[in-house]
Amino acid sequence: MRGVNGRRYFGTDGVRGLAGEAPMTAAFALRLGAATAEHLRARAPGDPSSQRHTVLVGHDTRASSAMLVAAFAAGLASRGVDVVELGVVPTAAVAHLVKVLGADAGTMISASHNPFGDNGIKLFDASGFKLADTEEVAIEGLLATLAAGDDALGLEPCTHEAVGGVQRYRQSDGHYLRHLLAAAPYLDGLRVGLDVAHGAAWQVAPNVFKQIGARLDVINAKPDGRNINQDCGSTHPEAITERVMRAGLDVGVAFDGDADRALMVDARGRLVTGDQMLAICAVVRREPAVVATTMTNLGVERWLLDRGVRLERVQVGDRYVFERLQRDGLRLGGEQSGHLLFLEKATTGDGILSALQVLAACRTSNVRLESWMDQIPVYPQRLSSVPVAAPDRGAVASDERVELALARAREELGDDGRVDVRPSGTESVVRAMVEARDPAVVERVLGELAEAISEAARGRPAHAVTGNAATQPGQGASSSDASEGE
């Protein structure tokens, strides 16, 4: 179970886990649906028993999504809440439709960029924002009580007219499609490659880009329930990179499973991360400041500062980017993974919208994407993900071995590099990130950090980490260019 901040189930992006194992079971989804219904009723003014609520439920293309949708919807309906099933839609469509349709809450069944075996449940409030920590804590309290049976809450049976109904949303209404088109530039024959990751964007993304004049080349658009994110999409951008280069395309876009994030590829085959997408939009829009995370590249930060844009850092997780944006009255923020927030246009990350905004910035500035890439410096940056049992992630990340390795890395890198260690909020790993001007230094320091994390996870007696520590990530760790997020 992957909770954070004292929560047992909710992490940085809803509840997530291996489908079929606790907590991602049909029984849990049923109970979570009932708890969500009771939470809505408890917040309603007047007599809660007289209130009627509506919750939207969307999902991605995973085989397990249908099971969880049915169970969650049943839980809602069992406690008197009406359900509107949206079918396969991006996460951002759920957030948008909650407001458009005047629903009381929204739910997305998806594990985003995770492998198909995982699944998750994300909750949105009536304004289309992800639930606040306090609301998730309240729902967890109801979950615990409901586990003891309805009598524990003193609930009256929900029968006859009180039982909630379930209906399907008419996709032909096109509310979300029109929302995207309103924020889209005309592409006038631009040759665009789309990797829709066999996921939630597999129909709507090509539809949008066709309507704005793109000449499309679409890959990985045959979802079978088990191939979502498999060697494709934003977690495997090499697929769209290869297509852009082989077909001579002007730009490529890769989405993740629920399309709340996107990465791009320029005409020369260079990966455009969320850092660079954020930087391009910030400069063209003349933002005074943007919010990013501890993963955001130092070279990008310094480039923005030279152009009058201040970069504020928060911990990884779009909820933390959102909180800082709201606190400081800013509009634009995001993560290196391609999870961007344009708060004047959307309440949550939207990969399709993000790609459209970058292309709009290129059109407005009359500067091609590859020319922007020539300008923006990026320091070598690498990420290592060390497997750690979920309950131990926080303790391992703060272990004395890890703290010592961190202190030595920061002393060595000084002002010309950065290092970060953090427990993942969505996976059973502890991540280490290192960036510096010298790629050899990056690899060596990353190896020392990963080994320290592995030792802490194995529970070895503490000892000093020396300069001769392993130069490769610790046993079981995976290493990659740092472009991940939760």
CB burial class (10 A; 0-12, 13-18, 19+) of residue 387?
middle
Q: In the block, which residue shows the tokens 């005309």?
A: 186
Q: Examine the residue annotation and report whether 65 is marked as an active-site residue of this protein.
A: no
CB 56 within 8 A of CB 98: yes
Find how far residue 333's CA is from the centre of its chain. Answer: 13
Give the type of residue at 145.
T
Q: How far apart are CA 277 and CA 281, in angstroms?
A: 6
Q: How far apart are CA 439 and CA 134, in angstroms?
A: 43
List the end-to-end C-alpha distance of the chain, in Å, as a whole number.
Answer: 16
Strands 262-266 and 289-293: unpaired
143's CB contacts (< 8 A; 6+ apart) are 9, 31, 32, 35
| Residue tagged active-site, from 112, 337, 424, 479 | 112
CB 103 within 8 A of CB 86: no
Question: In angstroms, what CA-CA distances link 251 with 118, 240, 257, 305?
Answer: 30, 9, 20, 27
Cβ neighbour number for residue 327 with a 10 Å cutoff: 11
Cβ neighbour number for residue 287 with a 10 Å cutoff: 18
Q: What DSSP designation does 151 have?
A: G
Cβ neighbour number for residue 149 with a 10 Å cutoff: 9
- Report the candidate in 281, 301, 287 with the shortest Cα–Cα distance to residue 354: 281
For 21, the token pair is 């194992």
In residues, how long is the chain? 486
List, by residue number, the catalytic residues: 112
